[in-house]
Structure 1
Amino acid sequence: MAVRPPRPRRFDVHVALGGLLGGLLLWGVGLATRPHTEPYVLLPGRWPLLLPLVVMAACELLRRSAPRTALLIGTPALVLDLVTQGNLVTILMYTDLMYAAVLYGPPASAHRIPRITGLLSVAGTVVPFAVWREPEALLIGVLIGLVAFGPAATGLIVRNHRDAAEAARLRAEQTALLSEVDRVQAVTAERSRMARELHDMVANHLSAIAIHSTAALSLEDERTSREALAVIRENSVQGLSEMRRLIGILRDGAGDREPAATPTLDGLGALVEGARANGLDVVLDATHDSLPAPVELAAYRIVQESLTNALKHAAPGTVAVRLRRLDDGLDIRVTSPYGGRDTPRAPGSGAGLIGMRERAALLDGTFEAGPESGPDGTLWAVRACLPVTDTTRGELE
C-alpha cells in the first residue's frame, strides 16, 4: 500500500511562494551576492542561480511536515548556490530550513544539529585562518555561524520554551483533573456521611413511632392508646429537633453549630431511657474516659442503631449494652434476644448494618454482627472496636 507524502501546511506554502517570488525578483533585476569575476564562482551567469533557488523553495514546503528531509536536500542546494554568483533569498530560505529542522524535528536532531553547526563554525574560523594567515579568513566562520549555527541555536531556544510551556499546560491539566477527582470524592464522602447521620437520627424515632402507632390502632384500651400516642409525640418532637440541628449544620458554612449537633457518650443514659420508653428492656454497662469526638460520635451512633434494630427485630428479653475502654481503643458490645419473630415490628431500609460498618472502618476499627449462642439462648450480637491513638487525638486538636 503506497504511503501518501505529507501535505504541506498553508503557512509553509506561503513561505515557499514568497521566497521563490523574492528570489526571482532579485534574479530579474540582476542582483547577486558575488561578482562573476571571483575565482570560486564556478558557474558564472544568471541562469545557474535559478536551480538552487527553486530547490530551496521546494524544500520550504517540507519545513514542518518533513524538516530533516528538507534540510538534507537544502544543504546541497546551498553548496550549489555557493559556486554560482549567489542569491540572497536562497541563503535566507536555508537559514529558515535550519531553524525549522531544530524546532519541528525529532528531539535527537534538535540537540545534534546545534552542536554540529557550532563545531563547523569554530572549524570554519580556525582552519582558514591557520592556512591563509589572513584576518579576512575569520569571516568564513562568522558566515557559517550566521547561516547555520545562529538559526539552529534560535530554534533550540524556541523549542525549549515551547516544551516547557507544554509541560506546564499538562501539569495544570493534571492538577485540575486531580482537583476534580478530590472534589468528587469529597462530595461522595460527605453524602455518605450525611446519609449515615440522617439514618441514625431519624430511623430510631420513626421506628418507635411506627411501632407505637400500630399498637394504638390495634388496641381498644384508651389508656394504652394514650400512652402510645405520648410516646409517638415524644419521638416526633425529638426527631424534629434532630432534623433541625442537621439542617442548621448544612446551612451554617462556618460550622460553629457542629458541637451542638454532635452527640457524645455522655448522652448514652438519655438514649437508653428513650429506648426503655419505647418498650425495650435495656441494661447499660459503660465505663470509659474522655475520648476523641469522632470515636464518641461513632460509638454513640452504633449503640443507637443497635437499639433501633433491637426495637424492630429482637425477641422479648433483655438488651445488654456494654462499653469498655481498652488499652488501644473502645470496645462496644450490644446483645439482644434473637429469633421468635417472623416479621419486623417496623419496616427498615437495611442500611443500618452498612452504616455501622462504615463508621468503624472510617476510624480503622472492626465491626461484627450476627447471631451467637449464649447461656440464655441465641443472641444477636453487635460488636465494634474503635481504636484510640495519639494520631487520632492530634488530628482532632
Structure 2
Amino acid sequence: MTAFPRPHRDDVLIAVAGFLGGLLMWSLGLDTHSDQGFEPRSLALVPLAVMSGAELLRRTMPNTSLAIGCLTMLADQFTVGNVATIAMFTDLVYAAVLYGTPAAARRIPAVSMVATAAVTVTALVIYQDAQAILPGLLFAVLTVVPAWTGVSVRTHRDAAEAAQLRAEQTALLAEIDRTQAVTAERARMARELHDLVAGHLSAIAIHSTAALSLDDPKTSREALGVIRENSVDGLAEMRRLIGLLRDSGGDAEPAAAPTLAGVDALLDQSRTNGASSGLECTLEDTREAGLALPAPVELAAYRIIQESLTNALKHASPGRIRVALAQDERTLTVRVTSPYGDRPGPRAPGSGAGLVGMRERVALLDGQFESGPVTNGDGRKIWQVRAELPVEEGNRKA
C-alpha cells in the first residue's frame, strides 16, 4: 500500500490561511457572484474547502492538486463564489509549474495561453462587444500570470542549484588535486630520502656486521673507518634534506640537484664500500661531449645509478659492477649490471622500495624501465637495471 505523502508545513499554513480567509469573506457577504442569486450561499464553502485541501498537495503532488483545482473552479461558478477560492487556484497553477515535472513546467504556460485565447475569442463571438475582452483578461490573470511567474522562479532556482553544484564540483576537484599533490610530494620525498641515505646505511650495516663477525683488529679498524665515513656522509645528506624541507617556503636558495658529473664520485664511494665484499665498479660513458640534459632527466639518471649501486652493495656476489651511459637524439640510456647469485659474508636487508622508486622516476618522465636477472654473452647470469629516458628537450650544445 502506497503511503500518502505528508504535506509540507508551509502548504498546511497556506491551506489553513486560505480557508479561514475565505470563511471570513463569506461571513461578511463578500461574494464574487452575489448578483446571480445562487442559493443557498453556504454552497460556496464546499469549493472553498476542497480548494484548501488541494493546497495541501501543492508541493508533494502538484499535478494532482492542479487538476482538483480546475474542477473546483468549475464548480465554484455555480455558487456565489469566494475570492479566497480564486486566489488559491492561482497559487495551485504557480505551484504546478514550480514544483511539477519539467514537462508540466513547459506545458502549463502554453496551455494557459491557448485557453486564454480561446476564452477571449469565444466571448467576442458570443457578446459581439469589446467588453467581451474582459473575461479573457481575467482568465489570463488567473492562469497565464501565475504560470509564467512559476516559470521565472523555477528558472532562477534551477540556475542557483546548477551554480551551487558547479561550486561543489569545483571544490571537490580542488580537494582531489590537493590530495594528489600531497601524495605526489610525499612519494617524491620518500624517493629522495631513500636514495640519499640507503647507500650509506647499507654500507654501515654490512661493515658493522663484518666487524662483529671477524676477530681481526685490522679488518675491524677498516670496517669502522668505512662506517664512520658513511655515517658522516649520511648525516650530512639528512641535514641537507631537512634544510630543504624547512626552507621550502622561504627565500633560501635551493641546493643544486646532483648531476651525472658526480657519477665518478658515486663509483669511488661504491669501490670503497664494496671492497671488502669483492666488488669492483667501472663506468662506460659513450655520450657525445657537450650535450646537455634536462634537469629532471639528469637527476633521475643519477638517482637510478645511485640506487643500483646501493642494491649491488647489498645483494651482489663478488665481481664487477658495470655502469653504462649512452645517448642518442631522443633517449638517454642508463644500464647498470652486477654479478647475480649467492654471496658469502654479511648482507644488508632490502625492502624493495629502491626498485619502486626507480620505476616511479622513469614513469614520471614517460620513459621505460626494466630490472631483473639476464644472461650475458658468456652465459653467466647478471642482474641488470636498464632505463630509457626521453631527452628531446636537452638535445642541444651546452
Q: Is the 8 A contact 2:43 2:79 kept in 1?
A: yes
- Structure-1 residue corresponding to 2:240: 245
- Structure-1 residue corresponding to 2:364: 362
- Structure-2 residue corresponding to 1:295: 297
Displacement of 1:244 after TM fit? Answer: 1.4
Displacement of 1:73 after TM fit? Answer: 1.2
- Structure-1 residue corresponding to 2:222: 227
Corresponding residue SS for 1:282: strand
Q: Is the 8 A contact 1:30 1:46 kept in 2?
A: no
- Structure-2 residue corresponding to 1:386: 389
Distance 1:290 1:344, change over 3 A: farther
Distance 1:61 1:22, change over 3 A: same
- Structure-1 residue corresponding to 2:193: 198
- Structure-2 residue corresponding to 1:123: 118
Aligned pairs for 1:100-115 (under 5 A) are 100-115=95-110
Displacement of 1:165 after TM fit? Answer: 1.5
Aligned CA-pair RMSD: 2.2
- Structure-1 residue corresponding to 2:329: 327
Q: Is the 8 A contact 2:66 2:92 kept in 1?
A: yes
Corresponding residue SS for 2:352: coil
Equivalent-residue separation in structure 2 for 1:82 and 1:389 (angstroms): 86
Letter in 1 for 2:2: V
Query: Alignment identity in percent?
Result: 60
Displacement of 1:256 after TM fit? Answer: 6.5
Corresponding residue SS for 1:36: helix
Q: Is the 8 A contact 2:280 2:320 kept in 1?
A: yes
Letter in 2 for 1:368: E
Letter in 2 for 1:309: N
Equivalences, count? 387
Displacement of 1:294 after TM fit? Answer: 1.1
Corresponding residue SS for 1:8: coil
Q: Is the 8 A contact 2:321 2:338 kept in 1?
A: yes
Displacement of 1:332 after TM fit? Answer: 0.8
Q: Is the 8 A contact 2:48 2:85 kept in 1?
A: yes
Aligned pairs for 1:246-325 (under 5 A) are 246-254=241-249, 259-260=254-255, 262-278=257-273, 279=275, 280-288=279-287, 289-325=291-327
Q: Is the 8 A contact 1:67 1:97 kept in 2?
A: yes
Deviates more, 1:102-111 or 1:121-130: 121-130
Q: Structure 1 regions of 5+ residues with no counterpart?
A: none
- Structure-2 residue corresponding to 1:212: 207
C-alpha distance after superposition, 1:212-270 (max 9, x if no partner): 22233344444443332222222112111111121122222337668515211111111
Equivalent-residue separation in structure 2 for 1:122 and 1:319 (angstroms): 95
- Structure-2 residue corresponding to 1:20: 19
Q: Structure 2 regions of 5+ residues with no counterpart?
A: none
Deviates more, 1:180-189 or 1:107-116: 180-189
Displacement of 1:127 after TM fit? Answer: 4.1
Greater relative contact order (CA < 8 Å, ≥ 6 in sequence): 2
Q: TM-score, normalised by structure 2?
A: 0.91
One of 136, 144, 149 as aligned partner of 1:154: 149
Displacement of 1:148 after TM fit? Answer: 0.7
